[in-house]
Amino acid sequence: MERLSSRNKMKVALLGACVLTMATAVQASAFENEFHGSYMLKYFISNYEQGGAGAILSGPTPAFPSGNTTSNLRINNYFEQRARLFYTAKASDDLKLVTGFEMDSVWGDKAQGALTAANSNATASTTTAAFRNSGGALESDAVNLETKWVYLDFKIPATPTRVRAGIQPFKDSIKGVMFDFDAAGISASTQVNAATFNTAYIRGYDQSYFSVGSPMNQANVRGNQNLDIGVVELKYALNKSANVGAAYYIYGDGRPLYLSATATTPVDTSTQVHAFGLTGDAKVGPVALSGFAAYQGGILRNVNSNGDSAFLNAFAYNVAGKMDVGPGTLKTALLFTSGNDNNASTLKSKHLTGWVTVNQSPDAIWGVSSVSSYNESGMILLNRNNLTSGPTTENMMVYNMGNGTTPINQQGLYLYTIGYDANITPKLSASLNAGAAWAAHTNALKPTDKHNNIQNASNYMGTELNIVTNYKLYDNLEAKIQAAYVFLGGFYKNSVLNGKNAVADPESPYTARVVLQYSF
């Protein structure tokens, strides 16, 4: 065989290098790296918002924040900020890894591990700077990168089914009034012609990571006592202008089945809630309508010292409409969730009628930290509305849609709202909203009139007026002003003592915010 000359050898080597480079380039071009995110800075002036999330007015007296119980409140002013970074590793439209990260802080909060993080689920070390929502104090230097999402998104080959597996966003199809959160789970969505079928399994908590309820002689057994949530949803497009749907959710809290690791008899304190919902939306002429009706049934075991169980029958419904009017959109909505009456506090009837929302409940301890929302209202202070809340500080009168702090004292809610969103110029828009709220039932959470130590007759909680203006400084940067005032109703009349120990109404909540929001 004739040997290649040195020149030919060089040509072959160059050709091989070119082929390898082209192959590498093709592979690199087939894989996409997507980066985007946002930054928000808010400045608050408020008599109730004070940099910590929760309900503004709850319990027999306004219990949170603890200092806001008089008719003469000092005014809070503070800054908070949030940055969110999202990265997607995209192999193709049918396969990608989605991640999201978050950094929150309030100016002047904590830095370099000098203080413990009292508002965190875990106590921070005083010698390290590793805790969430920190770094806003002098010299910053806090470890404050939170995981928001980490999930694999892929299409099952040769099927119409798409799967997400990992930490991801979940929201019910009944407008978030049962749950709206980020959590670890697996979900699947299948679309066949006009029908879409969604399923999901979510593990909210594993009790082996907490102190209470370890099984006898089997402490830290994984996956035996969990807060599990299951989702089945069906949506069907009747035509281009109308959709109907049905949903089923199971909320199964099996924590704890035992009171302690040394218990000799297992005690089942589990909760199981089954929720069924019907949804619909349609465009009727110039009006867009939407709504839902939902029912909850289930059982809460060993809810009192007698070992009694309580059975649940709760309801919720909503109807909303909007239409284009002039340079903007006129909108209105009504939301109802059922509540428990005074008999629920003693469980004489062993029957509960309060709407149950999913709550953050480490160690199976219920609290006000709801992960439900109702974004359709346009309210700022009256209900938990993610669209107008602060990055980390969310103070609302109705913080969860059951309007209570446990399944036993959910008061339920009537909330009527009306608003107008106006596009004034290509850069300037504004929204004006009004809403009124009533507790659906009277129970132990209702305040008492301190003149006569009797619960107030009125269930009217208050009326909010708010305005929001948005101005585009750049295509990606908006400046906003948000202002809201709540006129408290007879529900709170004479429910507090002022500084002179005299009976008084709590001061009506108000807030004003200046916002800068950058998206990329």
3-state secondary structure of 297: strand
**What is the pLDDT, as a whole number, of residue 375?**
92
Alpha carbons 149 and 146: distance in angstroms, whole number: 9
Of the candidates 274, 495, 296, the one whose C-alpha atom is nearest the C-alpha of residue 410 is 296
Alpha carbons 48 and 510: distance in angstroms, whole number: 7
List, for the chain, all residue ranges whose pLDDT scores fall below the cut of 50: 1-2, 12, 19, 22-23, 25-28, 61-69, 117-127, 129, 214-218
**What is the pLDDT, as a whole number, of residue 7?**
55
Question: Which secondary structure element, helix H or strand E, spans residue 21, and what is its range?
Answer: helix 6-30
Neighbours of 418 (CB within 10 A): 16
The CA radius of gyration of the chain, in Å to the nearest whole number, is 27
Instruction: For 216, list phi and psi in degrees, rounded to 5.
Output: -60, 125
Alpha carbons 161 and 4: distance in angstroms, whole number: 55
**What is the pLDDT, as a whole number, of residue 512?**
96
Beta-ladder partners of 368: none
The class that CATH gives domain 31-519 is mainly beta
Longest dimension (CA), the chain: 114
Alpha carbons 321 and 340: distance in angstroms, whole number: 29
**What is the pLDDT, as a whole number, of residue 261?**
54
Q: What pTM value is reported for the model?
A: 0.87
Q: By CB neighbour count within 10 A (0-12 exposed, 13-18 middle, 19+ buried), where does 112 fall?
A: middle
**What is the pLDDT, as a whole number, of residue 9?**
53
**What is the pLDDT, as a whole number, of residue 66?**
40
- Beta strands per DSSP E along 23-160: 32-46, 54-55, 76-92, 95-106, 146-155
Contact at 8 Å (CB) between 449 and 494? yes
Domain ranges for the chain: 31-519
How many helices and strands, by DSSP H and E, does the chain display? 2, 25
3-state secondary structure of 141: coil
- The Cα-based distances of 223 to 103, 214, 228, 276 in angstroms read 30, 12, 10, 26
Per residue in 469-511, pLDDT (tens digit) is 999 999 999 999 999 999 999 999 988 776 666 788 888 999 9
3-state secondary structure of 376: coil
**What is the pLDDT, as a whole number, of residue 217?**
44
Per residue in 249-308, pLDDT (tens digit) is 999 998 877 655 555 566 788 899 999 999 999 999 999 999 999 999 999 988 877 778
